[in-house]
Amino acid sequence: MIRIEGLRFRYGEGDFQLRIPELIVEPGTTTAFIGPSGSGKTTLLNLIAGIIRPETGRVETRNVEVSALSDPERRRFRVTTLGLVFQEFELLEYLSVLDNILLPYRIHAALDLDATVRERAGALAERVGISDKLDRPPRRLSQGERQRVAVCRAVLTDPPLLLTDEPTGNLDPLNRERVLDILFDYVRESGTTLVSVTHDHEILPRFGRVVDFRNFHSFGERAAS
């Protein structure tokens, strides 16, 4: 699903540099990226998504060399192939729950919002237990509910790759488990590849593979297996 080769990325003039000689993520797997903050986990996620581009090296996601695409191509790639879940949920405050879920279909011509999509959105909402709150604005939801909405949004397009950045970072333990259950159930059913950045060692057992980023920052170059 993901292949990274000879990657080098530096944020501007700073000291920090991310170097990944090689990293492969097989389709259908669940992978956790852990490491201390500032070690480049989110950066890698962004590189995989094509949100940023490396100095050198190749990032190939689902056989597409994302690092070589133009900005419009990368946007299109993201909206059709990826699902993203963020630590701070990143819902639009002025949209209802339903409109938040449907958001990807309204921001790119490549996606067509039709009845099937709406049905799927309804089904997803039901599945995560928020179908009675479809008309509400995010501010009237609890933290857990908001993240569940974000998950629905992320998987609405049925993406082959789901990238989550500290998805449970802002949740209490109960909601954390709930959201993780939703994610892993979904992933298991649909065969979606899941890559999660996380701080939380307690959730690591759920993942099939753990990549420790201490190996990847400027001082280390050993590839994980």
Partner 1 sequence: MRDTLYLAWRYLAFHRVKTAILVGAITLIVFLPVGLRVIVNQSSRQLTARAEATPLVIGAKGSPTELTLNTLYFSSDVPARTTYAAASEVADTDLAQAIPMYVRFRVRDQPIVGTTLEYFGFRGLKLAEGRQMAVLGEAVLGSRAAEQLGVGPGDHIVSSPESVFDIAGVYPLRMPVVGVLEFTDSADDDAVFVDVKTAWVIEGLGHGHQDLSQPEAAAGVLRREGNVVVGNASVMQFNEITPDNIDSFHFHGDLSDFPLTAVVVVPPDQRSSALLQGRYQTAELSQVVSPTEVMDELLGTILTVEKFVIAGAVTVGLATLATAFLVFALSLRLRRRERETLFKIGGSRAAVATVMTSEIVAVLAVGVLLALLLTFLTQRYGDVIIRSLIR
Residues near partner 1, by CB under 8 A: 49, 51, 71-72, 75-80, 82, 84, 86, 90, 92-95, 99, 103-110, 113, 137, 153-154
* 65-79 burial code (b ≥16 CB/10 A, e <16): ebbebeeeebbbbbb
Separation CA 48–CA 72 (nearest Å): 16
Least spacing, CB of residue 60 vs partner 1, in Å:
18
Q: Which C-beta is closer to partner 1: that of 100 or that of 198?
A: 100
Q: Which C-beta is closer to partner 1: that of 105 or that of 186?
A: 105
Q: Which C-beta is closer to partner 1: that of 73 or that of 181?
A: 73
Separation CA 101–CA 6 (nearest Å): 36
Q: Which C-beta is closer to partner 1: that of 74 or that of 176?
A: 74
For residue 208, report the phi and psi dihedrals to the nearest 5 degrees: -75, -30
* Nearby residues of 222 by Cβ (< 8 Å), 6 or more positions away: 215
Least spacing, CB of residue 204 vs partner 1, in Å:
25
Least spacing, CB of residue 197 vs partner 1, in Å:
14
Least spacing, CB of residue 95 vs partner 1, in Å:
6
Least spacing, CB of residue 164 vs partner 1, in Å:
12
Least spacing, CB of residue 189 vs partner 1, in Å:
22
Q: Which C-beta is closer to partner 1: that of 120 or that of 209?
A: 120
CB 17 within 8 A of CB 218: yes
Within 45-160, strands assigned E span: 56-61, 64-65, 82-85
Residue 127, number of CB atoms within 10 A of its CB? 16
Separation CA 204–CA 196 (nearest Å): 10
Least spacing, CB of residue 42 vs partner 1, in Å:
11
Separation CA 212–CA 222 (nearest Å): 10
Q: Which C-beta is closer to partner 1: that of 19 or that of 183?
A: 183
CA proximity to 201, closest of 42, 40, 32, 39:
32
Q: Which C-beta is closer to partner 1: that of 19 or that of 125?
A: 125
Residue 104, number of CB atoms within 10 A of its CB? 22
